[in-house]
Amino acid sequence: MKILVYGINFAPELSGTGKYVGEMAAWLSASKHDVRVVTASPYYPDWKVAQGYKAGSYQQERRLGLTVFRCPLWVPAKPTGLKRLLHLATFAASSLPVLLAQWRWKPDVVWVVEPPFMCAPAALVFARLRGAASWLHVQDYEVDAAFDLGLIKGALLRRWVEAAERWLMHRFSRVSTISGRMLARAQAKGVDPTLLVSFPNWVDISGIAPLAGPSPYREELGLPTDAVVVQYSGNMGNKQGLEILADVARRLADDPQVHFVFGGNGSGRADLEARCAGLPQVRFLDLQPLERLNDWLGLADVHLLPQRADAADLVMPSKLTGMLASGRPVLATAHPQTELGRVVAHDAECGVVVPPEDPAAMADALRQLVADPARRAALGANGRRYAERELNRDVILARFEAQLKALVAEGKPQP
């Protein structure tokens, strides 16, 4: 098949959408499909274009065995609601001629990822005119999140944007997303249930696995041998509710055994660092290299996974897959009825769930986990088993490949 992948985030970004789209495209290319990618220069989660790339020019490269077209975009150093819209709009505009240039290549499938939803109209029109199948994958419900989190405001504007979203979504050949609740939301937006596909985030269970001994990071960071390491790893943005991490660290400042390691980058890091000022047991690191990911996740005795209450079921934290595969317990903030709460507390039974934005409850739960290594080990083992059973990368991508082939076959005349 000829598969055109269209979206703003791609490898070598190490977290979020770019990580998964990059791994998907590489897997499909290794499976002998012809894959092209229209994307931007890597910038996430630092909100700074990576070294070796240019924000203001078009570039073409061979990466992961496929052809990648990089399009110009504006990257704000401090993203706000309006700046984020302009940022996405610059990519949607600059990528349009590159998308149209794929006309002569004749893709079988145009696969577009949200965010940014701004790219969906062009992808849909191009696919329709070219006679290709169209596939919209929702990694985050960008429109809902933007309004619910207050990044964009206005009741009339929301009604207009949501109407346009509904009109577009149910015209794609397929719509996929990463969790059951997000699939239900797509159906509520008017997508025919027969066109919905579950396409969850995955994990390389061979690349991320429980460590046989202490992580090398313990010695490198000079942590005591009896330290209980509490880790947050990933994007530090405004959907995570990161301020709770500082409150929890302050509440456990009286326990010298507990050490917090916060790793990642993003627009919310400076604020989190300021909130943690004066706490000697808190350390900040940048996002760690992919080749050290297993040692990095294995550093944790407890993984922290905060999420704002108003982001429930709009996003499913992609970082959860690696936490589960690492065989370490998870302490998450979520309501029990949300997808995140259900997975952590019931489906995987890999950790503890406390109410969002309740630092006292989170601190109390953390104290209990710190004091009970046997429980931590049991929860971590449950998470690992769930990852092996439900999140295996090769199984998920092989199923996705079969769905792509079936979709393409639908549009071809039968012999």
**305, part of any domain:** yes
**295, part of any domain:** yes
**32, part of any domain:** yes
Shared domain for 118 and 30, answered yes or no, is yes
Q: 313 vs 40, which has greater pLDDT?
A: 40
Shared domain for 307 and 284, answered yes or no, is yes
What's the pLDDT score for residue 414? 41
Parent domain of 355:
216-390
Shared domain for 251 and 380, answered yes or no, is yes
Shared domain for 126 and 52, answered yes or no, is yes
**47, part of any domain:** yes
Between 159-168, 213-222, 398-407, the lowest mean confidence (pLDDT) is in 159-168
**Average pLDDT of span 114-132:** 94
DSSP 319-366: THHHHHHTT--EEEE--TTSHHHHIIIIIS--EEEE-TT-HHHHHHHH
Shared domain for 365 and 235, answered yes or no, is yes
* Domain CATH number, residue 276: 3.40.50.2000
What is the pTM (predicted TM-score) of this model? 0.83
pLDDT in tens, 12-48: 998 889 999 999 999 999 999 999 999 999 999 888 9
What's the pLDDT score for residue 311? 59
Provide the 10 A C-beta neighbour count for residue 168. Answer: 18
Shared domain for 95 and 171, answered yes or no, is yes
DSSP state of 74: -
Shared domain for 369 and 311, answered yes or no, is yes
Shared domain for 291 and 396, answered yes or no, is no
**142, part of any domain:** yes
Residue 312 has pLDDT above 80, yes or no: no
Q: How confident is the model at residue 142 (pLDDT cuts 50, 70, 90)?
A: confident
**415, part of any domain:** no
Sort strands 66-71 and 34-40 into parallel, antiparallel or unpaired. parallel
Shared domain for 137 and 256, answered yes or no, is no
Shared domain for 41 and 6, answered yes or no, is yes
Helices (H), 45-152: 81-100, 120-130, 142-148
**93, part of any domain:** yes
Q: Across 80-89, 90-99, 185-194, 233-242, which has the greatest mean pLDDT?
A: 90-99
Shared domain for 238 and 198, answered yes or no, is no
* Dihedral sign from CA coordinates of 260, 300, 386, 186: positive
Shared domain for 374 and 263, answered yes or no, is yes
Dist CA 150 CA 260 (whole Å): 30
- In three-state secondary structure terms, 59 is strand
pLDDT in tens, 344-375: 999 999 999 999 989 999 999 999 999 999 99
**207, part of any domain:** no
What's the pLDDT score for residue 149? 67
Question: What is the number of domains present in the chain?
Answer: 2
